[in-house]
């Protein structure tokens, strides 16, 4: 039993390291959206194609990227087959996990505190980010920002196995399989989701088409905000963890709101080490969005 517990803790630690945020008809709309010359970011000039994305992914050729243009109802994809492949959501599941906690009433608002139990979740790597910010009481807002795994494990336990499985199924999230341990099923366990499905879920969340209260959605939309400038607002969440030996997956999913449109995205990259994907999942996404003219680099 001690060996099994040690192995589980090791897996959770590796998963935590990377967390410090369609249909056939859809495929026919994959071809284009706007693009800009990288030298004139912020000034879209023409329609983009999947080939325009290839230069951005030279370091991550096995990655995937999906962009959905809400106003034009168009998709743009890099590595379309990979966009349909399902992987563990890792900490991108903190988006639906937060929503479920709010909608069940387990947590009343974004400032709800769960106290850190040092015996249950012993501190480690106190001098290393993101862990150094974990070992204290957390609110939903701070736990989301810091990607504090222990908070969300406790939240899932409070929701309970039965309700959690019902919500995951009713939200049509990925393969809808929450059969793994209730406090671990999104970390290299039963739950899987593709880049296409990440974008589909975010679209339904943004358009308030999910079977949850408007209040729950409003709170969730507030805590996912990452960056705001005079030109755009960026919201999203990273996630990631080990797939196998020398294989690390990195997610960054979210949406960009501009003055006249909203663009949903899911970036998924793979590297041989955690450090190779930790910062690049966000940086690469921003380079693509800037290259397409939606944000300024």
The residues that are catalytic are: 91
pLDDT of residue 125: 73
pLDDT of residue 42: 44
CATH topology of domain 2-291: Beta-lactamase (3.40.710)
pLDDT of residue 33: 54
pLDDT of residue 37: 47
Indicate the pLDDT class of residue 275, thresholds 50, 70 and 90: confident
pLDDT of residue 21: 43
- The position carrying tokens 């026919």 is 28
The per-residue pLDDT of the chain, averaged, comes to 88
Is residue 207 scored above 60 in pLDDT?
A: yes
pLDDT digits (tens, 9 = 90+) for 50-108: 999 999 999 999 999 999 999 999 999 999 999 999 999 999 999 999 999 999 999 99
Burial class (CB in 10 A: 0-12, 13-18, 19+), 48: buried
Residue ranges of domains in the chain? 2-291
CA atoms of 139 and 279, how far apart (whole Å): 25
Is residue 18 scored above 70 in pLDDT?
A: no
CA atoms of 78 and 107, how far apart (whole Å): 38
- The position carrying tokens 């944000």 is 295
pLDDT of residue 44: 52
Indicate the pLDDT class of residue 24, thresholds 50, 70 and 90: very low
3-state secondary structure of 192: coil
Indicate the pLDDT class of residue 23, thresholds 50, 70 and 90: very low
Strand partners, 250: 240, 269
Average pLDDT over residues 157-169: 99
Asked which of 41-55, 207-221, 273-287 is least confident by mean pLDDT, the reply is 41-55
Is residue 132 scored above 90 in pLDDT?
A: no
């Amino acid at each position: 039993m001690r060996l099994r517990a040690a192995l589980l803790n090791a897996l959770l630690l590796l998963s935590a390291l990377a967390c410090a945020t369609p249909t056939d008809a859809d495929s026919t709309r994959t071809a284009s959206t706007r693009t800009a010359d990288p030298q004139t970011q912020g000034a879209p000039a023409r329609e983009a194609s999947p080939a325009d994305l290839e230069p951005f992914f030279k370091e991550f050729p096995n990655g995937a990227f999906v962009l959905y243009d809400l106003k034009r109802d168009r998709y743009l994809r890099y590595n379309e087959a990979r966009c349909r492949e399902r992987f563990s959501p890792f900490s991108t599941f903190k988006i639906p996990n937060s929503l479920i906690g709010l909608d069940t009433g387990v947590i009343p608002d974004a400032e709800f505190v769960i106290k850190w139990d040092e015996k249950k979740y012993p501190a480690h790597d106190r001098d290393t980010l993101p862990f150094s910010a974990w070992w204290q009481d957390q609110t939903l807002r701070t736990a989301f920002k810091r990607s504090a795994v222990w908070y969300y494990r406790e939240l899932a336990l409070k929701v309970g196995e039965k309700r959690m499985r019902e919500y995951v199924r009713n939200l049509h999230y990925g393969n809808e399989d929450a059969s793994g341990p209730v406090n671990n099923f999104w970390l290299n366990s039963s739950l899987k989701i593709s880049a296409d499905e990440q974008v589909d879920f975010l679209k339904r969340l943004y358009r308030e088409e999910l079977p949850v209260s408007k209040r729950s959605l409003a709170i969730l939309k507030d805590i996912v905000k990452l960056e705001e400038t005079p030109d755009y607002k960026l919201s999203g969440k990273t996630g990631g963890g080990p797939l196998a030996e020398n294989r690390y997956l990195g997610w960054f999913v979210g949406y960009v709101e501009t003055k006249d449109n909203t663009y949903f995205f899911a970036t998924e990259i793979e590297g041989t080490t955690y450090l190779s994907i930790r910062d690049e999942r966000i940086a690469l996404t921003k380079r693509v969005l800037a290259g397409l003219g939606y944000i300024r680099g």
